[in-house]
Amino acid sequence: MSLASSQSPVKVLIADDSSFMRAALSRMVESDESLCVVGTAETGLETLEKIGELQPDVVTLDIDMPGLSGLETLKRIMSEMPRPVIIVSSTARRGAEDTIEALALGAFDCIAKQLSYDSSDVLKVQNEVVSKIKAAAGPRVPAPRPSSPVDRPPVVEFAPATTVTVPSIVAIGTSTGGPKALREILSALPADLPIGIVIVQHMPAGFIGPFAKRLNDLCPLKVHEAEEGDLITAGHVYFAPAGKHVTVRRRSSSEAALHLSHLPSDVPHIPSVNVMMSSVAEVFGCSAMGIILTGMGDDGARGMQAIFLKGGLTLGQDEATCVVYGMPRACAGMGVLSRVAPLPDIPRHILDALGYPEPH
155 within some domain: no
Task: Identify whether residues 179 and 220 lie together within a single domain.
Answer: yes
167 and 80 within one domain: no
> Active-site residue 202, yes or no?
yes
For position 157, what pLDDT does the model report?
Answer: 43
Q: Give yes or no: residues 133 and 178 share one domain.
A: no
User: Do 255 and 187 belong together in one domain?
Assistant: yes
Q: Which of 57, 98, 109, 202 is catalytic?
A: 202
List the single range of 82-91, 117-126, 207-216 with lowest mean pLDDT.
117-126
Is residue 296 in a domain?
Answer: yes
> Which residues neighbour 356 within 8 Å (Cβ) at sequence distance 6 or greater?
190
Does the annotation mark 34 as catalytic? Answer: no
Higher pLDDT, 3 or 175: 175
Phi–psi pair at 245, nearest 5 degrees: -75, 150
Provide the pLDDT for residue 6.
57
The strand pairing partners of 76, in sequence order, are none
**187 has catalytic annotation:** no
The pLDDT, as a whole number, for residue 89 is 84
Asked if the structure places residue 71 within a domain, the reply is: yes
Regarding whether 129 and 222 lie in a shared domain, the answer is: no
Query: 274 Cβ partners below 8 Å, 6+ apart?
Result: 267, 299, 300, 301, 302, 303
**pTM value?**
0.86
Q: Which residues contact 358 (CB under 8 A, 6 or more apart)?
A: none
Last residue of a domain, one of 121, 137, 153: 137
Residues 95-114, mean pLDDT to the nearest whole number? 87
Number of compact structural domains in the chain? 2
User: Does one domain contain both 111 and 250?
Assistant: no
The pLDDT-based confidence of 143 (bands split at 50, 70, 90) is very low
Cα 73 from Cα 101, distance rounded (Å): 13
Q: What pLDDT shows up at residue 58?
A: 97
Can you give the residue range of the structural domain that contains 55? 4-137
In percent, how much of the chain has pLDDT > 90? 74
Residue 201 pLDDT exceeds 70: yes
Q: Are residues 178 and 255 in the same domain?
A: yes
What is the arithmetic mean of pLDDT over 219-228?
97
Q: Is the pLDDT of residue 150 over 70?
A: no
128 and 17 part of one domain: yes
Q: Does 143 map to a domain?
A: no
The answer to whether residue 83 scores a pLDDT higher than 80 is yes
**Does 177 share its domain with 103?**
no
What is the predicted pLDDT for the residue at 196? 98
Alpha carbons within 13 angstroms on the beta-carbon side of residue 173 total: 37
Task: Please report the pLDDT score of residue 42 as a whole number.
Answer: 96
Residue 346: pLDDT above 50? yes
CA distance 308 to 286: 8
- Domain identity same for 111 and 23: yes
Mean pLDDT of 276-302: 97
Output the domain CATH number for residue 262: 3.40.50.180
Do 131 and 171 belong together in one domain?
no
pLDDT at 118 over 60: no
CATH number reported for the structural domain that contains residue 113 in this entry: 3.40.50.2300
Reported confidence tier of residue 258, pLDDT bands at 50, 70, 90 = very high
pLDDT of residue 123: 75
Among residues 75, 103, 105, 72, which one has the least CA distance to residue 87? 103
Tell me which of 2-16, 121-135, 208-222 is least confident. 2-16
Residue 212: beta bridge partners?
none
How far, CA to CA in Å, does 185 sit from each of 50, 136, 212, 308, 350?
37, 23, 14, 22, 10
Please name the residue ranges forming H helices in the chain: 19-29, 44-54, 70-80, 93-105, 119-137, 178-186, 208-218, 273-284, 301-309, 327-333, 346-353
Tell me whether residue 98 is in a domain: yes
The mean pLDDT of 141-154, rounded to a whole number, is: 40
Whether pLDDT at 360 is above 90: no
Of 137, 172, 207, the position where a domain reaches its end is: 137
In a domain, 228, yes or no: yes
Spot the catalytic one: 175, 272, 278, 338. 175
**Is residue 70 pLDDT above 50, yes or no?**
yes
Catalytic residue among 299, 318, 338, 349: 299
